[in-house]
Amino acid sequence: GSDKTAGEMVDYKITGIDPGAGIMEATDRAISDYGLDKWELTTGSGAAMTASLKKAIDKEEPIIITGWTPHWMFTKYDLKYLDDPKGSYGGEEEIHTIGRLGLKEDYPEAYQILQNFKWDEEDMGEVMIAIIDGEDPKVAAENWVKDNEDKVAEWTDGVEKVDGEKFNLAYVAWDSEIASTNVMAKVLEDQGYKVKMSQVEAGPMWTSVADGSSDALLAGWLPVTHKTYAEKYEGKFEDLGTSMTGVKIGLTVPEYMDIDSIEDLKE
């Protein structure tokens, strides 16, 4: 045990990810909602954050990160979300598939598959774990598709093959979205599309679908995480439905830390 407060232990630092992520906006909101005046949210990337997390865990040192599920970090490490009694992070989120306007007319086959696309935390976890264990994302996705023919058959049920049409999927290099986007790219390729995956920041990802330069994104975390983007581009995209429900974002710490709530950061 230590007499230090959580703030003293981590230098009043929350280890964040890329500045455009919805979880960064939610964390700024938490800092204000809970009066965490001394605290700072650092920016970086998902990969930099998980590297810092690994370093801390290896030495059993304190760390506070911006976490989300599904994510392999909850499988590899013993972690817990800090309670959020003020609801700064929303509650249960859903992952929505977002298409550009006109997609249904231009690519009815892809449109249908994207609308049918539904999987669960365990499915995505398999792909994420394979990747973090060293598999190439493309190969991990191919293997998942091969091992889950029944599920994929439901997404493509009754959909006709196409002949090399170009399809552009925008995504951010978040581990969850690397998994989903590689899987969908493989499914659309098997359908006959020539798929391009464009890795961008969160803002440009939404912009590219809204201005039609991308056909779809799979990373629409709603109702809270990407609320600002969804509102900004209202009427300029089509919500194709949820691919996953019961997902979550929030401040995350190793189990060995002696705090349970964001309110404990005030002390």
DSSP code at position 83:
B
In order, the DSSP letters of 88-119 are: TT-SSEEEEEEEETTHHHH-HHHHHHHHH---
Q: Is residue 110 part of the contact set for ligand PBE (CB under 6 A)?
A: no
Hey, which residues between 23 and 82 contact ligand PBE (CB under 6 A)?
Answer: 23, 68
156 sits near ligand PBE (criterion: CB under 6 A): no
Binding mask 225-264 for ligand PBE (x = CB under 6 A): xx----------------------x---------------
Tokens of 245: 């429900």
d(CA 240, CA 223): 14
103 part of the interface to ligand PBE, by CB under 6 A: no
Spatial separation of the C-alpha atoms in residues 152 and 203, rounded to whole Å: 30
Residue of the chain from 15, 97, 112, 176 that contacts ligand PBE (CB under 6 A): 176
Q: Does 137 bind ligand PBE (CB under 6 A)?
A: no
Site for ligand PBE in 192-211 (CB under 6 A): 202
Largest CA distance in the chain: 66
* Omega before residue 70 within 30° of 0, cis: yes
Residue 191 binds to ligand PBE (criterion: CB under 6 A):
no
Positions in the binding site for ligand PBE (CB under 6 A): 17, 21-23, 68, 174, 176-177, 202, 219, 221, 225-226, 249
